[in-house]
Amino acid sequence: MTELKNDRYLRALLKQPVDKTPVWVMRQAGRYLPEYREVRAKAGDFMTLCSTPELACEVTLQPLRRYDLDAAIIFSDILTIPDAMGLGLHFVTGEGPKFSKTIQTPADIKNLTVPDMEDSLGYVMDAIRLTRREIDGKVPLIGFSGSPWTLACYMIEGGSSKDFAKIKGMMFDAPDQMHALLDVLADSVIAYLNAQIQAGAQAIMLFDTWGGLLSPENYNAFSLAYMKKIISGLQREADGREVPVTLFTKGGGQWLEAMAETGVNSLGLDWTTDITQARQRVGNKVTLQGNMDPCVLYASGDTVEREVMKILAGFGKGTGHVFNLGHGIHPAVDPENMARLVDAVHTHSKPYHQ
């Protein structure tokens, strides 16, 4: 493989010294970029964009051409695994992801099997292999998956939900069924992420988008336990380097200590968690990623820069911080504000690493 020219992101995840804080942004390849919208229109629909390696590679690389980012994340969707299980993923304008089939009965769960990664999900691996070639060692490439709990939320509800009544009903009424579903999903995520690593992903991120819906007891039992299983099953070295893993539970700031004990290298923080307090709570156990409110990017460029400086100061001196938003970038953001963010992180973080 081509030698990595900028390994700042990987070094920070491993708590090694860096010259400045690395930065990338969740959903950095997306609708806020006019060039993305052009490719999306060419593809015709979102799933075609995801499942065509050449198009997925192109939109993965687009933000790197605009911004001095320290990592790329492969363009895909967190719901590829349930789609490969035969649930029929599609996207409805204004409503987001939907499934043609849902999981409702013990028989539905029993019929699920771990997909063949190079068969049903080979398009993701092809996109990773192509992107690694095209990126030519400029920055590392991140692979990712949704967490079992998050995947199960969509599989049972059939899409997003205001109250997630169906999945919570199954969790409370039929916990054995819920655990059976989460177990096959955990095995699938392990196989999926290991296939991504073998295809060339140099770091891994696990998105637990809906873990924050749960009580502490149920978070530990139905979300964290399965992410811990995944983390213990991952290949942690490739190309002679460690493959770092980041865990992000949206709304999970109250559980940082437990998350830090899972074996991950890094924890993602949303904007509701104070980064100074988070660092005090986890100490040197893990790197922290985050955590600017994505809506700051709707403000002026000067405001963006001030907010960047606050977060850098909040983390303080030393390595172990990857700058990011507290969730994905919003579609209506001015791309110039993204440029201001990236430049501000690199400019103002240097004193913290001297």
* Beta strand spans in 179-306 (E): 203-208, 237-238, 241-242, 245-249, 266-268, 287-289
Residue 273, marked binder: no
Residue 225, marked binder: no
* Beta strand spans in 159-219 (E): 203-208
Q: What is the pLDDT of residue 338?
A: 98
Q: What is the pLDDT of residue 95?
A: 74
To the query of whether residue 236 is one of the catalytic residues in this protein, the response is: no
Single out the catalytic residue among 31, 66, 129, 281. Answer: 31
Q: How far, in Å, CA of 35 to CA of 39, rounded?
A: 7
To the query of whether residue 119 is one of the catalytic residues in this protein, the response is: no
Q: How far, in Å, CA of 204 to CA of 202, rounded?
A: 7
Residue type, 313: A
At residue 146, the 3 state secondary structure works out as strand
Single out the catalytic residue among 8, 11, 40, 340. Answer: 40
Q: How far, in Å, CA of 317 to CA of 124, rounded?
A: 38
- For residue 85, give every residue at least 6 positions away whose Cβ sits within 8 Å of its Cβ, in sequence order, or none: 112, 113, 115, 188
Residues of the chain under the 50 pLDDT cut:
none
Q: How far, in Å, CA of 345 to CA of 162, rounded?
A: 35
Q: What is the pLDDT of residue 3?
A: 85
Strand 241-242 relative to strand 245-249: parallel, antiparallel, unpaired?
unpaired
Residue 137, marked binder: no
Q: What is the pLDDT of residue 93?
A: 74
Residue type, 226: Y
To the query of whether residue 27 is one of the catalytic residues in this protein, the response is: yes
To the query of whether residue 154 is one of the catalytic residues in this protein, the response is: yes
Q: How many CB atoms lie within 10 A of CB 195?
A: 20
Contact criterion met (CB below 8 Å) for 183 and 241: no
Burial 113-146 (b: 16+ CB within 10 A, else e): ebbebeebbbbbbbbbbbbbeebeebbbbbbbbb
Residue 154, marked binder: yes
Residue 28, marked binder: yes
Residue 77, marked binder: yes
At residue 161, the 3 state secondary structure works out as coil
Q: What is the pLDDT of residue 199?
A: 97
To the query of whether residue 241 is one of the catalytic residues in this protein, the response is: no
Q: What is the pLDDT of residue 341?
A: 98
Tokens of 296: 């700051």
At residue 329, the 3 state secondary structure works out as coil
Q: What is the pLDDT of residue 1?
A: 54
Q: What is the pLDDT of residue 38?
A: 97
DSSP structural state of residue 138: S
Single out the catalytic residue among 67, 154, 192, 226. Answer: 154
Domain 8-353: top CATH class:
alpha beta
Residue 31, marked binder: yes
Single out the catalytic residue among 70, 77, 208, 270. Answer: 77
Q: What is the pLDDT of residue 216?
A: 97
Domain locations in the chain?
A: 8-353
Q: What is the pLDDT of residue 91?
A: 85
At residue 125, the 3 state secondary structure works out as helix
- CA distances to 305, 318, 319, 346 from 353, in Å: 19, 6, 7, 11
242-292 confidence digits (pLDDT tens):
999 999 999 999 999 999 999 999 999 999 999 999 999 999 999 999 999
Residue type, 246: T
Contact criterion met (CB below 8 Å) for 50 and 144: no
DSSP secondary structure letters along 17-64: --SS--B--TT-SSTTSHHHHHHHHHHSSHHHHHH-HHHHHHHHHHHH
* Beta strand spans in 175-275 (E): 203-208, 237-238, 241-242, 245-249, 266-268
Residue 29, marked binder: yes
